[in-house]
Every structure is written in structure tokens, then in C-alpha cells.
Amino acid sequence: MWSYVLRRLLATIPTLLAVITASYLLLHAAPGGPFDSEKQVSAAVLANLQAKYHLDLPLWKQYLLYLNNLLHGDLGASFRYADWSVNELVAKALPVSLAIGGIAMLVSLLVGITLGIVAALRQNSFADFIVMLLANIGSVIPSFVIGPVMVLVFALWLRWLPAGGWENFDWRYMAMPIALLTLINVATIGRVMRGSLIEVMKSNFIRTARAKGLPTRTVVLRHALKPALLPVVSVLSPLAISSITAALVTETVFSLPGIGKLIVNGAGNRDYTLVLGLVVLITVIAVTLNLLVDLAYAALDPKIRY
């Protein structure tokens, strides 16, 4: 197992390099620059700015300088946020996104797996219809529609929660963003868990367990749950990565100072170093999640040998 982990970690190096190279070239190929604005600066000032950030060098030299800084853990200085480095911006925004996304993912797992089990054991019942209705709502209606509706209902009409903003991890400001991401994730987890458990409950070894007179609770928890969780584990990594995409909308709707808002601002401002730093961070998170999912998959299925 350890050799497999080591091989996977080594395989991430070309993946990271390919993502960084592609993002770097695409950003520099886009029209405009980080210092283009409605207010034009003089040629001398523009030349000084370009020299300060090495933008006057050939593209390949800029790329090598960036890679060298990246190897030393330096994501560079932000072009548009004065006196701020990308490391400082990420360190300030990352805890917000991790808190919202992490709590939402844990709640989604508990709620989604529970609802999926209930719907599978009571197939075609009223509970099953309710679970599938929630799953379809979370899958069909986009987050940029659900978010404003939640603000309208809970902030403007009922006045239970603030409409947006951030106040040092106060639960009132975290409740609606977490609820939005949870609804989106539960829609997928609940549906996958339901279908998987229905299929497992029709297996021969489950019929054998029932023929021995075991109660339904024991059959589900001891025999059916592990194999039924395999498809759920498989979708966890892409689901977590898609939550980063959803965070772009969530953090914009609720005015959260997280990674998603930094990505939007960095792309709009042509802040090359900020966007590249966030791309590197998200790629590392994605690769790590894929590795953890593979290890969890092997733990659940003893037939798998790496």
C-alpha cells in the first residue's frame, strides 16, 4: 500500500506541471494585462511596473522565474492587491472556504447516506418520493437560483439570518452557505446511495443472510452497507472538487471572503500570480482528494490490491 501511495505522489508532479504550464500560457494569451484600466498611466510608470514584476522579460524567462519561486513556496506578489502577497491572500481566504466546504461535506455525507438508506429500504414509498424530490431539486435548480431564494426567505422575510457577510466564523453567517452546499451535495449522495443499496439488497449474499433469520438492521449495517458505500466513495472526490466550483457562486452570493471570491476577482483583474496560485492550490487539493478516495475504496473492498 505504501508503495502505491508513493507512486501516486510521484505521479502528481507531471500533473501539477501540466496544469501550471497550461494555466500560465492561457492567462498570458488572454487579451489585456494586470495594469490595463480605464485610467491610463504614463509609459514610464507602466515600464517601471512591468520591470518590478518581470513582465518585461520574455515569456519563457517569466515562466522559469515563477517555477523557481513556486519550488520555494512563494506564490508571488499580487499585481492588484497592493502590499499583499498571494501567500497572504490565500492564508486569509482558505480557512473560510475550508470551514464552509468541510462542514457542508460532513453534513452532506451523514444526511445523504441516511436519506439514501431510508429511500432504498422503503422503495416507492412516500419517504422515497420525498428523498428523490429533494435530490432532483438539488440537481436541477442551480445554486445561483437557490442562494438568492434562501436570502429572500431567511434574511428578508423571516429575518432569522444575515443576508451575507462574514464575522469571524459566526454560525449565523455560515448557516446559509453551508445549507446551500449541503443541499447540492445531498442531492448526489442520496441518489447514489439509494441506487447502490437497492442493487446490493438484491444480491445473493443478502438473500443468504436473510434466509438465516438475521434482522433487517443487521443485514444492512453488517453486510450491505460496505459494498453499497463504494459508489458513494467514488463520487466523493469529483463532488468535493465541484463544490469548489459551487463556491464561486456561493461566496459571491453571500459575500464571503473565501477562495471562490479571490478567483473571480483575480480573473477579472488579470492578476496572473493570484490566479495561478489558486489554480496550484486547487490542483493539490484535487490530487489529494483523489488519493484519499482511492485509499478509502481499497479499505472498503478487500478484493482490491494495488
What is the model's pLDDT at position 247? 73
pLDDT at 56 over 80: no
pLDDT at 8 over 80: no
- Give residue-wise pLDDT tens across range 161-211: 998 888 888 899 999 999 998 988 898 899 999 999 999 988 888 888 888
pLDDT band at 152 (very low <50, low <70, confident <90, very high): very high
pLDDT band at 239 (very low <50, low <70, confident <90, very high): confident
Contacts of 210 (CB under 8 A, 6+ apart): 219
Per DSSP, what are the bridge partners of residue 77?
85
What is the model's pLDDT at position 52? 66
72-81, 228-237, 250-259: least confidently modelled range: 72-81
What mean pLDDT is reported for the chain?
Answer: 83
- Mean pLDDT value across residues 272-281: 84
Q: What share of the chain in percent tops pLDDT 90?
A: 15
| pTM > 0.75 | yes
CA distance from start to end of the chain? 7
pLDDT band at 72 (very low <50, low <70, confident <90, very high): confident
C-alpha to C-alpha distance for 268 and 127, rounded to whole angstroms: 45
pLDDT band at 39 (very low <50, low <70, confident <90, very high): low
103-117, 197-211, 218-232, 266-280: least confidently modelled range: 266-280
- Grid cell of 180 as nine digits: 446551500
What is the model's pLDDT at position 48? 67
For residue 273, give Cα distances in angstroms to 34, 38, 47, 48, 245.
10, 22, 19, 18, 20
Q: Among 268, 276, 270, 285, which residue's Cα sits nearest to residue 24?
A: 276
What is the model's pLDDT at position 205? 87
pLDDT at 305 over 60: no
- Give residue-wise pLDDT tens across range 103-135: 998 999 999 999 999 999 888 888 889 888 888
3-state secondary structure at position 31:
coil
